[in-house]
Amino acid sequence: MTKSHPGEANPLLEPWTGPFEAPPFDLIRSDEFRAAFDRALAEARAETDAIAANPEPPTFANTIEAVERSGKNLDKVASVFFNLVGTDSDETLEAVERDMAPILSRHRSAFFLNEALFARVAELYANRAKLGLDPEQARVLERYHLNFTRNGAGLPPAAKARLADIGERLASLGAQFGQNVLADEKAYLLILDIEDLGGLPDFLIASAARIAAERGHPGKYGITLSRSSIEPFLQFSNRRDLRERAFRAWSARGESDGHTDNRPIAAEMVRLRAERAALLGYESFAHFRLADTMAKTPQAALDLLESVWTPAVRRAAEEEGALQKLAAAEGENFAIAPWDWRYYAEKQRKAEFDLDEGEIKPYLQLGKLIEAAFYAANRLFGLSFTERFDIPLYNKGARAFEVARDGKPVALFIGDYLARSSKRSGAWMSDFRGQHKLDGAQLPIIVNVMNFAQGGEGEPSLLSFDDARTLFHEFGHGLHGMLSDVTYPTLSGTNVARDFVEFPSQLYEHWLEQPEILRRFALHYETGAPMPETLIEKLVAARKFNQGFATLEYAASALVDLSLHLNATPEDLDVVALEQKELARIGMPEAIAMRHRTPHFQHIFSGESYSAGYYSYLWSEILDADGFEAFHETGDIFHTETARRLHDFVYAAGGSRDYEAAYAGFRGRAPSPEALLRKRGLDGAPAEG
């Protein structure tokens, strides 16, 4: 990589003049980020200081709107940087991340602990009823006042200094945690010979051959710790010894005794979070985090998780019994273990519904599923998607689409779908620029990132049904960003409570499962023939299959997350021992493993997005299950008036409304929790007693 030279213009800080004013990825170099950060931080600090020192009395315009306009270059640099760290990282970016994480945290702390600035915000908040604010402005002011107080404004100097130190250390630890997981995933490769391929379908064999060749083992086959590689291996391989070896490596990410060991990092992060919560006057970090959510309290989140736990345990026991019978019928006498569950569940699904993944996957082409997600958005919200080839992107695997409505651009959407070693595992939505209308319309640039397996040479990438659901889920998040229609950046898009943000994404998954969508877009990759009606019927019938397992692996992770963060004094913490203690308390079946074990639980430790908040997927599922029933009740999955309310009160509203009011505006009432159990097929499970 060429080095930048003194005096050269830094493209990260220059005006971006290309289509959609998208980042000029063809000009950006990894070694330019540090200098860009330094300049952008200095600019942002000067802007904040000027607002705080303004001799004029505070007004909404000279304080809140001024802050909303500040730090534009820092926002530009940070959005590009952190997106690249997740999607196309290299050693230079990782080094910059380690350096910048504490610096950016210190900058954030300095902003929220600026007493002169807080005094202006507090004065406005105290007099808010007299300011003549519109509802969105009132919401912005409320959010600023709350964010300042939740970050330590008004505390004694020693407490504020300690909060800043804690934030800086947590930022460094979170960056290292994520890099350690990525390093473990990149380092592992299960090499297979041709005799090790028993049970594997053609699509997985082709993918494994390509992986091995890329890693320097031509003629062999390779399984990685990417979910799109290892999960189908666990599902289909008839080699129990290899399934166990692969599963144990997958489960042990972040739990080595070497330099990538995340156990001490997680323990320190839990301790620091508890200390921060105590400084802010909260009983625990979980109480602090949930105070600003729909749930409000940890007990409300625990009540929800435990309400599904009992029926899910009973359902999982029935499922395990069926799998045990299958193994016995094959002459096996071992107890079903976590590395067996997916393998025998696939056999059970075929036996129960005459359905197997190998039969489904040829009909689920990545390109067609992208079209399906676009089609549903067109029918619901009038959006059109046109691929753009004139916009430079950061990796040749990414694609750009202009999003329009009524002939007018709405957003730029970037899809980055395929796995690669420079990308962290998982799937997510982010943005390179958020929507707002503060100084004229700023159109959003939204990105969806996934890790689907590459197709064989000349063949499309084929998805499992779970993969396809992930694509729709992340596109639901994407729509939340693209359809945002608010004035202020603070309220834009997905800037909402953690247990509300999953509602638009989980709701969107429902359209994938509709026969109308499958008939149109589930086309065989070789023949072009549509998925047979009998297969569609089997897919729909099998929708609730294995939901005991799915519910427990998720809920166990959420309960461990809360257990970690409800601890008010986590001294001498062994996070794995606490994990095992909590699993024993809740009665986790030995045959099922947590979806995310603590040493690689990036949701809660690579940053704080879901810390003490992993429960939020289930909380949002109440909303999505009940919300989709609104369409079913009309008899039309694209019902125009229902879609309009969904758009206006949810997708376009960002954080501009109270969340309960937003949902009620869409649905006409509060959500029905029973819809969640109906969706998961747990409503008929026997109760305890």
Q: What is the C-alpha separation between 532 and 514, in angstroms, rounded?
A: 14
Calculate the CA 439 to chain-centre distance.
30
- Catalytically annotated residues: 474
Terminal-to-terminal C-alpha distance of the chain: 67
Specify whether the CB–CB gap between 498 and 610 falls below 8 A.
yes
Secondary structure (3-state) at 257: coil
Secondary structure (3-state) at 406: coil
Q: 546 CB contacts (<8 Å, ≥6 apart)?
A: 319, 345, 349
Q: What is the C-alpha separation between 266 and 161, in angstroms, rounded?
A: 23
Q: Which residues of 83-101 are buried (b: 16+ CB within 10 A; e: fewer)?
A: bbbbbbbeeebbebbeebb
Report residue 130 as tokens.
């007299």
Q: 527 CB contacts (<8 Å, ≥6 apart)?
A: none
DSSP state of 256: -
- 7 φ/ψ sector (left φ>0, alpha ψ -120 to 50, else beta): left
Burial (0-12, 13-18, 19+ Cβ within 10 Å), 448: buried
How does strand 408-418 pair with strand 445-452?
A: parallel
Which residue in 440, 448, 452 sits closest to 481, CA to CA? 448
Residue type, 390: D
Which parts of 533-574 fold into alpha helices (H)?
533-541, 547-566
What are the DSSP calls for 582-634, one per residue?
Answer: HHHHHT--TT---SS-GGG-HHHHSSSTTTTTTTHHHHHHHHHHHHHHHHHHH
Secondary structure (3-state) at 1: coil
Which parts of 254-365 fold into alpha helices (H)?
263-279, 285-290, 298-329, 338-353, 357-360
Q: What is the C-alpha separation between 125 and 264, in angstroms, rounded?
A: 42
Which residue in 622, 562, 614 sits closest to 586, CA to CA? 562
Specify whether the CB–CB gap between 598 and 180 falls below 8 A.
no
Residue type, 374: F
Report residue 252 as tokens.
């042990």
**Helix (H), strand (E), coil (C) string for 129-151:** HHCCCCHHHHHHHHHHHHHHHHC
Q: What is the C-alpha separation between 240 and 565, in angstroms, rounded?
A: 36
Which parts of 53-201 fold into alpha helices (H)?
66-69, 72-87, 91-112, 115-126, 135-150, 157-187
**For residue 579, which phi and psi values (nearest 5 degrees)?**
-55, -50
**Helix then strand then coil, % of the chain, to nearest 5:** 60, 10, 35
Query: What angle is formed at CA 244 by the lines to CA 241 and CA 248, rounded to 5 degrees?
Result: 145
Whole-number Cα distances in Å, 271 to 41, 220, 267, 413, 511:
29, 45, 6, 39, 42
Which residue in 224, 183, 232, 184 sits closest to 204, CA to CA? 232
